[in-house]
Amino acid sequence: MYFKQFLDEHCGCASYLIASRQTREAAVVDPALDIEPYLAIAAERGFRFRYAVDTHVHADHISGARKLREATGAEICLHESARVRYALRAVKDGDELPLGQLRLRIVHTPGHRPELISVLVVNPPRSPEPSMVLTGDCLLVGDVGRPDFGGGDAEAQQRSVERLLSLPDWVAVFPGHFEGPCGKGMCGRPSTTIGFERLFNPMVRLDASAFVRALGGEVPPRPLNMVAIEATNRGDADAFWAMPTVMDSVPEVAIAHAPAYIQRERPHLLDVREPSEYSAGHIPGVALVPQAELATRLSEIPQDRPVLTVCAAGARSLRAAQFLQQMGYTNVRSLAGGTSGWAAAGLPIDKTEGAPEPTRRIVESAWTHAGVHEAATTH
C-alpha cells in the first residue's frame, strides 16, 4: 500500500492519496482544489486514479474532485444523502471501494453534516482489521467537528464519534483538518490514534448530554467565503475563484494610529465578524459583511477608495484583507487588535443595529474622541 497525507496551510485541511502498489490503482480522499501534487506523484509512480472521495460537501475549501475527474477519469464518490448537481457514485454505510488488494470501507458518520462519511482503510493480505481511518470532520485530533451549519446535528455527532471510538486502539486516525474553523480545540497535530483520542480527547470523555451541550455552546465563526464555497461544491455556483489561495502580507493599522488614519484616508470600514458579534458592539459607521459572505458581496465593497477590515482581534480581518488583495483590491489594510483593541483604548463603540451611520461621522467622532488633529500621521 502507498499512503500520503497532504496538508494545506491556507485552510488547515488535509487530503490523502492511497494506492495499491500491486495494481497501481489510486484514490484521493478530500482532494484539494490544486490537484497538481496528486498528478505529479501519479506520474512518478505510475498510478492511475480510480476514485476521488469527498467525505462531505465542504464549506471551508473548494474540492478538487471534479478537476481530478476531468484530468484522470476518477469516479467521484459521496454519501448517497449528499445533495449535489453533478454525477457521482453514491455510497452508503458498509460499502467497500476496491482498490487493488485494498478496500476502502465506508462508515456513515453524520453530525458535522448529514452526509459525512469516514473511510476505513483495510489491507486484507496483511490483516482483516483496518489499520487506519480517515475521519473527515467527525473526529479531529483533540476535538470533534462543529455541527452548527449545513444540517449538522450534535446528537448525531455524538453517536458517530462513539462509533469511531469502538474501533481498536491501534487504528490510526487521519482527520480532514489539523487547524482552522472546523473545531475550536484541535491541538494542531495532523494525526492520532483511536486509543489516544479515547483517553485524552476532552470532548469524547464527556457523557452524551454534556457532549451535546458543549457542541451547542460558543462556536467558531463561519469560514471565510463559506457561502460561495459550499455553493460551488454543490454545483449550484461556479465560484472556484472564491478559494483563498494566497497569504501575502497586508499592512496593518495599529489602534493608536487608527483614528488619525481614518480621518485622513476616509477608508471604507468593513467588519467581517458574525452578525451577533456586530450587534454586541462595533465601531460606529463600519459596514457588516461577515467573512462567510465576503465573496458573494464584493459588489458592496468599493475598489476606488481604501478599505480597512475589522474583526474581533485582527486574525479574521487579516485573512479577509488577503482575499480582497487576491481579488484585485490594491489599497487594503487590517485593523490590528480589532474591535476589542478599539474598545480597550476607550474609543467609541456602537451597539445599534441596522444600517451604519456615514463613515464621515465615525471619522470625526473617533478623531475628536482621540484628540488627534487633521495633520496627524500613522505608521
Q: Tell me, yes or no, if 311 is annotated catalytic.
A: yes
Question: Nine-digit cell at 360?
Answer: 464621515
Give 181's pLDDT tier (boundaries 50, 70, 90). low
pLDDT at 287: 97
Domain end among 215, 230, 261: 215
Q: Tell me whether residue 31 is in a domain.
A: yes
Say whether pLDDT at 50 is over 60. yes
Can you read off the three cell numbers belonging to residue 85?
A: 448537481
Same domain, 181 and 252: no
Q: Is position 331 within any domain?
A: yes
- The C-alpha atoms of residue 367 and residue 374 are separated, in whole angstroms, by 9
Tell me, what CATH number does 19's domain have?
3.60.15.10
Cell numbers at 96, concatenated: 467497500
For residues 96 and 156, membership in a common domain is answered with yes
Among candidate residues 278, 288, 287, the one with its CA nearest the CA of residue 358: 287
| 112-142: pLDDT as tens digits | 999 999 999 999 999 999 999 999 999 999 9
- Domain count for the chain, please give it: 2
CA–CA distance, 167 with 130 (Å, rounded to integer): 9
Report percent pLDDT > 90 for the chain.
82
- Residue 220, pLDDT > 60, answer yes
DSSP structure string for 210-252? HHHHHHTS--PPPPTTHHHHHHHHHTS---GGGS--------E
Residue 241 lies in a domain: no
262 and 336 belong to one structural domain: yes
Residue that is written with C-alpha cell 477608495 in the block: 305
**Residue-level pLDDT at 358:** 41
According to the model, what pLDDT value does residue 152 have? 81
Low-confidence winner among 133-147, 181-195, 349-363 (lowest mean pLDDT): 349-363
* Residue 324 belongs to some domain of the structure: yes
Shared-domain flag, residues 43 and 116: yes
Q: For residue 340, what pLDDT band results from cuts at 50, 70 and 90?
A: very high
Residues near 53 by beta carbon (within 8 Å), at least 6 away in sequence: 27, 28, 29, 30, 65, 76, 77, 78, 97, 104, 119
**Residues 207-223, mean pLDDT to the nearest whole number:** 87
The boundaries of the domain holding residue 348 are 246-370
Note whether 295 and 155 are same-domain residues. Answer: no
Tell me if residue 274 falls in helix, strand or coil.
coil
Same domain (yes/no): 275, 154:
no
Whether 230 is covered by a domain: the verdict is: no
Q: Are residues 336 and 261 in the same domain?
A: yes
Residues 15, 139 share a domain: yes
Residue 280 inside a domain? The answer is yes
* pLDDT tens digits, 65-93: 999 999 999 999 999 999 999 999 999 99
Band the pLDDT of 370: cuts 50, 70, 90. very low
Name the catalytic one among 11, 13, 77, 311: 311
Asked if 250 contacts 325 with a C-beta cutoff of 8 angstroms, the reply is yes
Which pTM value belongs to this model?
A: 0.89
Mean pLDDT of 38-58: 98
Q: What's the chain's average pLDDT? A: 90
More confident residue, 52 or 145: 52
